[in-house]
Amino acid sequence: MISRQAIRNVVRDITKLIKTRELGFYYLPGDSGEEYYFKNLGFSFSVEVNLTFDDTIKQDFIDGSFYHDDDVVEVILVLNPTNLNRNLYNLIGQLNEVIAHELTHGKQKSRGIPYVKDNSENSIDYYTKPIEVEAQINGFKRLSKISGVTYPKVVSKWFELNQHKHNMTLCDTIKVIKILN
Q: Would you state the pLDDT for residue 59?
A: 86
**Higher-confidence position of 126 and 153:** 153
Q: Quick one: average pLDDT of 105-120?
A: 82
Tell me if 62 sits within 8 A of 87, measured CB to CB: no
Strands (E), the chain: 24-28, 36-37, 44-53, 61-67, 72-79
Q: Percentage of residues in the chain with pLDDT exceeding 70? A: 96
Residue 99's closest CA among 28, 151, 149, 34? 28
Q: Would you state the pLDDT for residue 52?
A: 95
Residue 136's closest CA among 105, 170, 165? 105
Residue 118 has pLDDT above 70, yes or no: no
Q: Percentage of residues in the chain with pLDDT exceeding 90? A: 61
CA distances from 94 to 8, 55, 60, 69 (A): 12, 19, 10, 25
pLDDT per residue as tens digits for the range 9-68: 999 999 999 998 888 999 999 867 789 999 888 899 999 999 999 999 988 899 999 998
* CA atoms of 23 and 21, how far apart (whole Å): 6
- Mean pLDDT (the chain, rounded): 89
